[in-house]
C-alpha cells in the first residue's frame, strides 16, 4: 500500500507517511486505494484489538505482524482504558451513545494517540540518527492526549501549542501539569486556527526544517493531519456497527447513521473512510457549534473563514479552518491534486473558496450538516439527562442537538450512533450550569466538579478528581510569532 499527497506527491510508504506527518508539498497523505471491509469476517471478532488489527493491517503493510500487534497491544491494554477501549450505550430504540472517552485523558483523542507513538517509533528507520520532534496544535483534547501518549517515549520530544484563553480550565490544567522529561507546552495569544497555522508554516518552511535538522531532529505531527492519527479512528466505526448487529439492534448489512461533533473534520472523515471501505453508513451528520463554517460549506458549497470567531462552551470545536476537509475534497474530486492546490491556495490568499455543484452533491450524498448555539447546547445537556439519566459534555450535546434537528427535518428512523467525545467532568462548569440554569455561574471551575458529582451522583474519573492538586509545570504564554523561537529553545534542553 502506497500513499499520495492531496497536492501531488506519490509513492510514499505508510511508515514514511507517519514519520513525516505532512507531505513536503503541504498536502495530506491518503492511501492510493481503499480496502473493503468484509462484514462476514468482522462479525466474528470479540474484542477491540481484533478490529484494530483488521483495519490497520492492509494500510500499514510495511509493518510486520509482530510490529503491528506490539503497537496494538501496547496501546489498548487495561492500564490505559477502563472498558473494551470504547463503550456503546443504548438510549432508546433509535439512539445509541458511543463513548470514546475511556482512555487516560478522558477524550476520544486517546483512541488514536495511544497507538500513534508506537507506530511512529517503528516507522523511524533503524539507521536514522535523528530524533522525532512532534509538534501539536490543540483546541483542548489533542494536546493532553498527545502529551500522555508520547510521555518519555525514547528519541522523541513533543511540543504542544494551545490557545491560552480557548480551552476549558480542566483541559488547561491537564496540559500545564503534564509530566515527562520530553514534554513541553505553551499557550499562545490567539485562537486554535492561529496555533494550527503556525505549526503548518513551521512544518513547511525549508529554513525551519534545516534548523531543527542541524539540532538532530526531524518534524512530525500528532494532529489528525498525520495518517497514523487518522486511521485508528476508523476502527471504532466498524466496532460500534458490529456491536449493534450482535445485540440484535440491526441486521448485518443494514445502514446506520453516525452523528459527529466536529471541529477539524478528522473524526467525521474517519467515518467517511469507513463508508468508502464498505461499512453500511447512511448519513454522517456533521455537528458544529456557532463556528459553523462546515455547516455553511456542506449546505452551500462555499468555505469562507472570513467570519467572526466565537468562543463557545464547546471549545474543542472552536475552529474556522478544518484541515481534514482537504482529504475529503481530494477524494470527491477523483484525486485531482491540481484542483486541491488551487482551492487551498485560494483559501490561504483570499480566505474562502467555492466548489462546483457536482462536487457538492457528492458530499451531500454522505453528509448532513447543522449547528447548535450555546443556549441550545445547554438545553440539550439538561434534556438528555432528564430523559435518559445520561450525562453528556458540551461537545456531545452539540451532536445530540443537531441530530434532533436532522430528525425533525427528515423523519429518518435509521438507527443512529452519536459519538461522545469527552467525559462530561472535563467541562463540569458548563455542564453544571446547564443542568442548574446558571445557578452556579460564580463557582470555581474545579469546585464545579464536586458540585456536579453531588447533584448527579455520576462517578468522577480519578485523573480529574486529583488534577487540582498537581503543580503547574508549563506556565508559558507566548505570542503567535514566537512559536519557532520556543521550539528552538526547548530542543536545546537536555
Strand partners, 417: 96, 258
Annotated active-site residue 80? The verdict is no
Q: Which of 27, 32, 31, 34 is nearest to 5 (CA)?
A: 27
Give the helix/strand (H/E) hosting 463.
Answer: helix 462-465
Helix, strand, coil shares of the chain, percent, nearest 5, are 45, 15, 40
* Given the residues 49, 95, 109, 243, the one annotated as active site: 109
Q: CB–CB of 419/96 below 8 Å?
A: no
In this structure, the strands spanning 352-354 and 183-188 are: unpaired
Instruction: Name the packing angle between helices 116-123 and 65-75 (round to 10°).
Output: 150
Three cell numbers written together for 226: 498525520
Residues 62 and 31 sit within 8 Å (Cβ to Cβ): no
- Give how far the C-alpha of residue 296 lies from the chain's centroid of Cα atoms, to the nearest Å: 21
CA distances from 365 to 72, 261, 360, 494 (A): 34, 19, 9, 52
Q: Report the interhelical angle of 325-332 vs 337-350 (nearest 10°).
A: 140
Q: Give me the long-range contacts of 481-487 (CB less than 8 A, separation at least 24).
A: 483/161, 483/186, 483/188, 483/198, 483/199, 483/202, 484/202, 484/208, 486/159, 486/184, 486/186, 487/133, 487/135, 487/159, 487/202, 487/212
| Rounded Cα distance, 291 and 286, in Å | 13
Which H or E run includes 369? strand 367-371
- Angstrom distance (rounded) from CA 347 to CA 270: 23
Catalytic positions: 109
Amino acid at each position: 500500500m502506497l500513499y499520495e499527497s492531496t497536492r501531488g506527491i506519490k509513492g510514499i510508504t505508510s511508515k514514511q507517511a507517519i514519520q513525516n506527518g505532512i507531505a513536503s508539498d503541504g498536502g495530506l497523505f491518503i492511501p492510493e486505494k481503499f480496502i473493503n471491509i468484509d462484514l462476514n469476517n468482522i462479525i466474528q471478532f470479540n474484542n477491540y484489538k481484533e478490529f484494530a488489527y483488521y483495519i490497520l493491517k492492509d494500510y500499514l503493510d510495511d509493518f510486520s505482524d509482530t510490529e503491528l500487534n506490539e503497537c496494538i497491544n501496547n496501546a489498548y491494554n487495561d492500564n490505559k482504558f477502563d472498558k473494551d477501549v470504547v463503550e456503546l450505550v443504548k438510549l432508546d430504540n433509535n439512539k445509541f451513545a458511543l463513548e470514546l472517552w475511556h482512555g487516560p485523558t478522558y477524550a476520544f483523542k486517546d483512541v488514536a494517540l495511544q497507538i500513534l507513538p508506537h507506530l511512529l517509533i517503528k516507522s523511524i528507520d533503524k539507521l536514522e540518527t535523528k530524533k522525532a520532534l512532534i509538534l501539536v496544535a490543540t483546541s483542548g483534547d489533542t494536546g493532553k492526549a498527545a502529551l500522555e501518549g508520547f510521555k518519555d517515549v525514547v528519541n522523541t520530544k513533543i511540543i504542544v501549542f494551545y490557545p491560552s484563553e480557548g480551552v476549558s480550565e480542566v483541559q488547561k490544567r491537564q496540559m500545564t501539569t503534564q509530566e515527562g522529561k520530553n514534554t513541553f507546552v505553551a499557550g499562545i495569544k490567539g485562537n486554535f486556527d492561529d496555533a494550527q497555522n503556525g505549526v503548518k508554516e513551521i512544518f513547511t518552511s525549508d529554513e525551519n526544517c534545516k534548523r531543527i535538522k542541524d539540532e538532530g531532529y526531524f518534524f512530525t505531527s500528532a494532529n489528525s493531519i498525520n495518517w497514523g492519527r487518522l486511521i485508528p479512528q476508523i476502527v471504532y466505526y466498524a466496532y460500534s456497527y458490529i456491536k449493534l448487529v450482535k445485540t440484535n439492534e440491526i441486521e448485518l448489512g443494514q445502514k446506520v447513521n453516525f452523528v459527529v461533533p466536529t471541529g477539524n473534520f478528522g473524526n467525521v472523515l474517519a467515518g467517511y473512510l469507513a463508508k468508502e471501505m464498505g461499512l453500511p453508513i447512511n448519513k454522517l451528520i456533521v455537528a458544529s457549534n456557532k463556528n459553523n463554517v462546515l455547516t455553511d460549506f456542506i449546505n452551500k458549497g462555499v468555505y469562507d473563514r472570513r467570519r467572526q470567531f466565537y468562543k463557545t462552551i464547546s471549545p474543542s470545536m472552536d475552529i474556522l479552518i478544518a484541515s481534514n476537509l482537504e482529504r475529503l475534497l481530494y477524494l470527491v474530486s477523483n484525486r485531482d491534486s491540481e484542483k486541491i492546490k488551487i482551492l487551498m491556495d485560494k483559501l490561504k490568499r483570499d480566505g474562502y473558496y467555492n466548489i462546483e455543484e457536482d462536487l457538492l452533491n457528492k458530499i451531500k450524498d454522505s453528509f448532513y450538516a447543522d449547528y447548535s448555539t450555546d443556549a441550545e447546547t445547554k438545553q440539550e445537556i439538561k434534556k438528555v439527562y432528564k430523559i435518559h439519566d445520561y450525562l453528556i459534555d458540551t461537545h456531545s450535546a452539540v451532536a445530540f442537538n443537531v441530530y434532533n434537528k436532522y430528525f425533525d427535518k427528515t423523519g429518518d428512523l435509521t438507527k443512529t450512533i452519536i459519538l461522545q467525545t469527552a467525559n462530561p467532568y472535563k467541562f463540569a462548569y458548563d455542564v453544571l450550569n446547564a443542568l442548574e440554569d446558571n445557578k452556579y455561574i460564580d463557582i470555581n471551575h474545579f469546585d464545579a466538579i464536586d458540585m456536579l458529582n453531588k447533584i448527579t451522583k455520576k462517578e468522577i474519573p480519578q485523573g480529574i478528581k486529583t488534577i487540582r492538586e498537581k503543580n503547574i509545570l508549563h506556565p508559558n504564554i507566548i505570542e503567535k510569532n514566537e512559536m519557532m523561537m520556543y521550539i528552538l529553545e526547548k530542543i536545546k534542553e537536555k
